[in-house]
């Protein structure tokens, strides 16, 4: 499979020259234990009822959020009879309608991460999540679009799942979490990236995964450590994809870094270029400096944005990253939700607002 985009999928209609595109909305099933059962075969329903899920690190306990932010969600987003993100009517009332969201990308964070030890189960859950997104969110709400949830450790199954969804315009990206078992530049993942590029899907690389909550130096003592360490996983993935030559092979492939911040990418590009200048013979096949690929093949969601003490300095940061590389993200219904009316304290020009809130998303997701 090459990097040539296949026959175009059905046209994805959004959008006008007004309104907001949101690259990060988190849906949830009405019941975490049984919400996906209607989309699973009897074999896997029975399996989950008897055994549950076995994570990749069986003894790794979660260290995610304190009790004051249960499920990492804002308290006013809890509907009657389900967790935050499970009630489409409430999502409309709290976010889609008042903020004039005309295009929103679903980023499921439930049911599985990057797969456990049982890949057959994880693949079944991924397919169920994909069917569930369409049936319960996208079909009844034409402003929403789905992500193709996959299990990267089974490239054969992933390619089949991408092929299955490729001509369905309701899917707009392939979703992979930052916490993979190995960095995504490794060759065993190349068929997945080839399939995504072939069908014009960007990779939506969202913070998270099933590899526990270790930092690069070991287990953290505090939530603050774990939360910030997610950024480092994104940096690792960027370095791997660039240095392993993915974008020389697949120049049309786009990667969206979601919920990991973005200001750090400036220094990362500078430092990679310096190392490449001194040790470039190690990666002699690279055709360009690393910052070239960072600038051409990566996008960044804005939540959580690194707000400088002087709000106007945000314009300087975004200029270095590239105004055409940034996608507004709300992270609804999480506790650190960014309301588009108040997310950026800097005075941003109307031209740049149009890119940030709408035009960049239309481009990378190929919205007409």
The pLDDT profile of the chain, 368 residues, written as one tens digit per residue, is 667 555 445 444 443 467 999 999 999 999 877 899 999 999 999 998 888 776 555 444 444 555 556 667 888 888 877 888 999 999 999 999 999 999 999 999 876 544 567 889 989 999 999 999 999 999 999 999 999 999 999 999 999 999 999 999 999 999 999 988 899 999 999 999 999 999 999 999 998 875 555 677 877 788 788 778 888 889 999 999 999 999 999 999 999 999 999 999 999 999 999 999 999 899 989 999 999 999 999 999 999 988 899 999 999 999 999 999 999 999 999 888 999 998 899 999 999 999 999 999 999 999 87
Percent composition of the chain: helix, strand, coil (DSSP 3-state, to 5): 40, 10, 45
What confidence score (pLDDT) does residue 212 get?
52
What CATH number does the domain located at 20-364 have? 3.20.20.140
Asked if 220 contacts 62 with a C-beta cutoff of 8 angstroms, the reply is no
Q: Helix (H, G, I), strand (E, B), or coil: what is residue 146?
A: strand
Nearest alpha-carbon partner for 261 in 346, 345, 196, 178 = 178
Question: 272: Cβ–Cβ under 8 A, 6 or more apart, which residues?
Answer: 239, 242, 289, 290, 291, 294
The arrangement of strands across the sheet holding 101-106 comes to 20-25, 101-106, 144-149, 171-177, 203-206, 255-258, 298-301, 326-327
What confidence score (pLDDT) does residue 41 get?
96
For 81, counting Cβ atoms within 10 Å of its Cβ (0-12 exposed, 13-18 middle, 19+ buried), the class is exposed
Instruction: Give the phi and the psi of residue 354 in degrees, each rounded to 5.
Output: -60, -40
pTM of the model: 0.92
């Amino acid at each position: 499979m090459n990097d040539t985009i296949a026959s175009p999928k059905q046209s994805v209609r959004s959008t006008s020259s007004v309104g907001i595109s949101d690259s990060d909305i988190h849906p949830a099933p009405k019941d975490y234990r049984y919400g996906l059962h209607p989309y699973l075969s009897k074999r896997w329903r029975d399996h989950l009822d008897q055994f549950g899920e076995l994570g990749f690190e069986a003894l790794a306990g979660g260290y995610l959020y304190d009790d004051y932010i249960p499920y990492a969600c804002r308290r006013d987003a809890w509907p009657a009879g389900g967790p935050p993100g499970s009630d489409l009517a409430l999502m409309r009332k709290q976010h889609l309608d008042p903020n004039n969201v005309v295009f929103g990308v679903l980023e499921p964070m439930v049911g599985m991460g990057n797969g456990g030890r049982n890949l057959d189960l994880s693949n079944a859950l991924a397919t169920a999540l994909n069917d569930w997104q369409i049936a319960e969110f996208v079909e009844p709400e034409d402003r929403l679009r789905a992500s193709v949830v996959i299990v990267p450790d089974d490239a054969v199954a992933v390619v089949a799942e991408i092929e299955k969804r490729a001509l369905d315009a309701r899917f707009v990206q392939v979703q992979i979490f930052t916490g993979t078992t190995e960095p995504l530049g490794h060759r065993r993942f190349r068929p997945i990236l080839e399939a995504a590029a072939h069908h014009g899907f960007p990779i939506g690389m969202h913070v998270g995964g099933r590899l526990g909550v270790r930092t690069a130096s070991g287990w953290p003592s505090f939530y603050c450590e774990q939360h910030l360490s997610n950024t480092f996983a994104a940096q690792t993935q960027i370095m791997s994809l660039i240095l392993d030559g993915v974008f020389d092979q697949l120049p049309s492939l786009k990667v969206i870094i979601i919920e990991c911040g973005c200001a750090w990418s400036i220094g990362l590009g500078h430092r990679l270029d310096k190392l490449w200048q001194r040790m470039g013979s190690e990666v002699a096949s690279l055709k360009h400096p690393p910052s070239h690929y960072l600038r051409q093949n990566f996008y960044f969601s804005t939540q959580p944005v690194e707000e400088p003490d002087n709000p106007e300095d945000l314009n300087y940061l975004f200029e270095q990253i590239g105004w055409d590389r940034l996608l507004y993200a709300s992270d609804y219904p999480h506790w650190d939700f960014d309301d588009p009316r108040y997310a950026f304290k800097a005075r941003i020009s109307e031209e740049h607002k149009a890119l940030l809130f709408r035009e960049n998303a239309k481009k990378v997701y190929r919205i007409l």
